[in-house]
A and B are shown apart, each in its own frame.
Chain A
Amino acid sequence: MTPDLIAFFVLALIAIAAALGMLLGRNVVYSALFLVLNFGTVAVFYILLDAPFIALTQVSVYAGAIMVLFLFVIMLLGTETLPVSKALPWQRPLAFVLALILAGEAGYLLFFRKVTSGTIPQPVQTFGSPQAVGQALFNQYLLPFEVTSVLLLIAMVGAIVLTIKEKGGQGK
């Protein structure tokens, strides 16, 4: 076993354990922290996969911004522990079917696809660098990039609208 394979398996185990910890945790704060750990390990995978820009974004956006927002809300609402959950009857079969489909697809990818098994040539040095990503972003993907500006603007407007304290009926 080569060192990078060992590293991969250790990291993968951490990622899966963190995900399970998030899923099974009784305390929401622990769940959130487990999720941060999971996002962190995934960021390391991104570096291994020659995507340094995405790895940095992952850390700053996901682990940094999104999870902090979660923790903020948890602390604001003060609901660290919540009662034991009950599942709705129709959810379990649905979950089972979904898991089956995913396992099937993953198995197919693992064993039967040529593309994903076997060796892949090392990409050029600048692959996935911020410069390369930026150039693609502002040339071929200009329109989607502009759309995200609309998306973020309305997320901002929406969040303000939903959390503003209304004084006296519908006025401001």
Chain B
Amino acid sequence: MIPINYYIALSAILFTIGALGVLVRRNPLIIFMSIELMLNAANLAIVAFTRVYQILEGQIFVFFVMTVAAAEVAVGLALIVAIFRTKHSINIDEMNNLKG
């Protein structure tokens, strides 16, 4: 049996890589993929904890997170396509019509 905290450590590493991707990369598609990686890391942690407590709650939680991720991706990619149609480019650096 693999100790659970190995899984938690792995999930923390994956989550950090995802967070770095969001904050450092500028390509909207990669940023979006990084967010998926973050969700995935959180899911891994939850499933690992579920194994510890042996209550199904956690697995249900993960199931719902996946549903949310699917909905979010559908809407997000639709937005990328919509932006692309109006601008014919999806580099976030060119999103300078709105200044932060």
A-to-B contact residues, CB < 8 Å: 4-5, 8, 12, 15-16, 19-20, 22-23, 25, 28, 31-32, 35, 38-39, 42, 45-46, 48-51, 53-54, 57-58, 61-62, 65-66, 69-70, 72-74, 76-77, 79, 82-83, 85-87, 91-92, 94-95, 98-99, 102-103, 105-106, 109-110, 113, 115-123, 127-128, 132-133, 136-137, 141, 144, 148, 151-152, 154-156, 158-159, 162-163
In the complex, what distance in Å separates the CA atom of A113 from the CA atom of B77?
A: 40
In the complex, what distance in Å separates the CA atom of A110 from the CA atom of B12?
A: 11
In the complex, what distance in Å separates the CA atom of A142 from the CA atom of B19?
A: 32
B interface residues, how many (CB within 8 angstroms): 70
Total A-B pairs, Cβ < 8 A: 234
Contact A133 B56 (CB under 8 A): yes
Min C-beta distance of A133 to chain B, whole Å: 6
Indicate whether A62 sits within 8 Å of B66 (C-beta atoms), given known contacts A42-B40, A98-B19, A152-B71. Answer: yes
Q: List 22 A-B contacts (CB under 8 A).
A: A15-B10, A19-B13, A19-B17, A22-B34, A35-B33, A39-B40, A54-B43, A66-B36, A73-B81, A79-B90, A94-B23, A98-B19, A102-B16, A117-B4, A117-B5, A128-B56, A128-B59, A136-B56, A151-B71, A154-B71, A162-B78, A162-B82
Given the complex, which residues of A lie within 8 Å of B52, measured CB to CB? Answer: 115-116, 120
Min C-beta distance of B37 to chain A, whole Å: 6
In the complex, what distance in Å separates the CA atom of A91 from the CA atom of B36?
A: 19
Indicate whether A141 sits within 8 Å of B5 (C-beta atoms), given known contacts A155-B70, A159-B74. Answer: no
Given the complex, which residues of B lie within 8 Å of A136, measured CB to CB? Answer: 56-57, 60
Given the complex, which residues of B lie within 8 Å of A19, measured CB to CB? Answer: 13-14, 17-18, 37
Shortest 6 CB-CB contacts between residues of A and residues of B: A106-B12, A155-B71, A85-B26, A162-B78, A95-B23, A159-B78
Indicate whether A99 sits within 8 Å of B20 (C-beta atoms), given known contacts A49-B51, A110-B8, A162-B75. Answer: yes
- Interface membership of B67, Cβ < 8 A: yes
Contact A95 B5 (CB under 8 A): no
Given the complex, which residues of B lie within 8 Å of A128, measured CB to CB? Answer: 50, 56, 59
In the complex, what distance in Å separates the CA atom of A162 from the CA atom of B70?
A: 16
- Interface membership of B1, Cβ < 8 A: yes
Min C-beta distance of A24 to chain B, whole Å: 9
Given the complex, which residues of B lie within 8 Å of A73, measured CB to CB? Answer: 29, 77, 80-81
Contact of A22 among B8, B21, B84, B93 (CB under 8 A): B21
In the complex, what distance in Å separates the CA atom of A99 from the CA atom of B22?
A: 12
Contact B40 A38 (CB under 8 A): yes
